[in-house]
A and B are shown apart, each in its own frame.
Chain A
Amino acid sequence: KAGVTQTPRYLIKTRGQQVTLSCSPISGHRSVSWYQQTPGQGLQFLFEYFSETQRNKGNFPGRFSGRQFSNSRSEMNVSTLELGDSALYLCASSFSQETQYFGPGTRLLVL
């Protein structure tokens, strides 16, 4: 089976812009979770989608949003980008609510 794929792998944006990241889960997995990884804060949970519904949400401002499509692919959007949004954004898919498999991540740099 193909693993979790994320696009794009690298992205450079400027403050105030918005960005959309995409994640394709492992075939058959219906749950997709998003994480932000930074050197200072580690891996922080953004949100989880299951069957097109947001099931859990972390403590991030409303500028961070996501959605899931009927084929389980998911997108996350960050509006009004800030310098502090520079991070590696990781997507993980799972069949159950437990074992999560991560993609390679999208590295976002905000200038």
Chain B
Amino acid sequence: GENVEQHPSTLSVQEGDSAVIKCTYSDSASNYFPWYKQELGKGPQLIIDIRSNVGEKKDQRIAVTLNKTAKHFSLHITETQPEDSAVYFCAASSNNNDMRFGAGTRLTVKP
């Protein structure tokens, strides 16, 4: 089955800097890669996703890149703000298969 690895487990940046979180997956059939943000006491919220027919997707300060050959995808947050502090999860799934999540990255943005 699918195995998703996520790095780093913790990340601390200064406000205004960029943050990058990386994930790798094992199943070459995976074709959908969402990213979730989880704040304390809440469920994960979808922030951006990418499908395997696209190499990059941007939404304001957030971007995701996908390298299907290397089986890795990354989340990029630019101009970080304190409210970006949360735990971020990557995930991968393929048609008819359950979604597998990375272990999460705790991002802290210091003002």
Contact = CB atoms under 8 A, between A and B. Distances in A.
Interface of A: 4, 33, 35, 42-43, 45, 48, 55-56, 58, 90, 92, 97-105
B96 A105 contact: no
Contacts of B89: 42-43
Q: Interface of chain B, helix or strand or loop or mixed?
A: loop
A78 B87 CA distance: 27
B21 to A, nearest CB: 14
Interface residues of B, number: 22
A73 to B, nearest CB: 17
A42 B98 contact: no
B43 A42 contact: no
Given A42-B104, A43-B89, A101 B46 contact: yes
A98 B42 CA distance: 21
Contact of B99 (A33, A55, A103, A105): A33
A100 B46 contact: yes
B44 A102 contact: yes
B36 A102 contact: yes
Contacts of B102: 42
16 contacts: A4-B43, A33-B99, A42-B89, A43-B44, A43-B89, A48-B98, A56-B97, A56-B98, A92-B43, A97-B95, A98-B49, A99-B34, A99-B49, A100-B34, A100-B99, A105-B43
